[in-house]
Amino acid sequence: MSQTQNKPIVLITGASSGFGKACAKKYNLAGYPVILVARRLEKLTALAASLNSAYPIHIAKLDVTNKSEIKEFVKNLPDRFKKVGVLVNNAGLAVGSAPIHETIEDDFERMIDTNIKGLVNMSRQIAPIMVANNSGHIVNIGSIAGSWPYPGGNVYGGTKAFVQQFSRGLRADLLGKNIRVTNIEPGMAETEFSNVRFKGDGTKADNVYAGVKPLVADDIAETVFFATSMPAHANINSLEVMPTCQAWGALAVAR
């Protein structure tokens, strides 16, 4: 049996950029078979072409906000890739930063559909595979916003608080099934995140990181890989990661 055959199949959502892309590179470099999904097939194709083809790679266009699309995707996985051993629920986003009384409803619907419904529906389809195999690891990408609120983070923070609690619920549900669950909670990280949040306004996005040294995608990929590389009897429940330049601020008081 080859080294690759000994390694679990890793499914990464939102793999076309940011944390997901970095995770894809990390797992491929380490010899894992990977399934990479995202909405932007052209970026997935380019990513796959840059990876080591000595290890199995499967890519698919997938919108995690579409429940029926998720079901069809899982149902039609090639036989070689059906026994998913690690699920990295990475697909997620923030849109807008306005206070709740000024938010655009479509923006927070998009966050709820992606960050909550997409993660739940993907987990629902993959968990039975892991239960049948009596083995697996679900890694959810949360955020420090799930624990620490800030102005304009209203719905986004609420979705990541859901991810935190849902991860805990999965641990309770899957006890005795030999399946691990980890919630990774990044702080400030420079990826496409702010560009998406500010709807392509590069100046606003750049201002978020001006004068600081934030986390980068590779830092989170290393963290995810570390969590899944722990001995099978050890589960990292949650792991909060901030850049050294970031910390919890003082409580605000309006006078």
**Active-site residues: which are they?**
156
Print burial letters for 99-133: b (CB count within 10 Å at least 16), e (below 16). eeeebeeebbebbbbbbbbbbbbbbebbbebbeeb
Q: What tokens were used for 66? A: 């579409």
Q: Collapsing DSSP states into helix, strand and coil, what is residue 117?
A: helix
CB 217 within 8 A of CB 174: no
CB 44 within 8 A of CB 67: no
CB 114 within 8 A of CB 96: no
The angle formed by the CA atoms of residues 40, 44 and 49, to the nearest 5 degrees, is 150
The angle formed by the CA atoms of residues 43, 205 and 193, to the nearest 5 degrees, is 45
CB 210 within 8 A of CB 188: no
Residue indicated by tokens 């995770």: 23
CA distances for 30 relative to 47, 111, 170, 235, angstroms: 16, 32, 27, 21
Quote the CA–CA distance of 104 and 96 in Å, as a whole number: 8
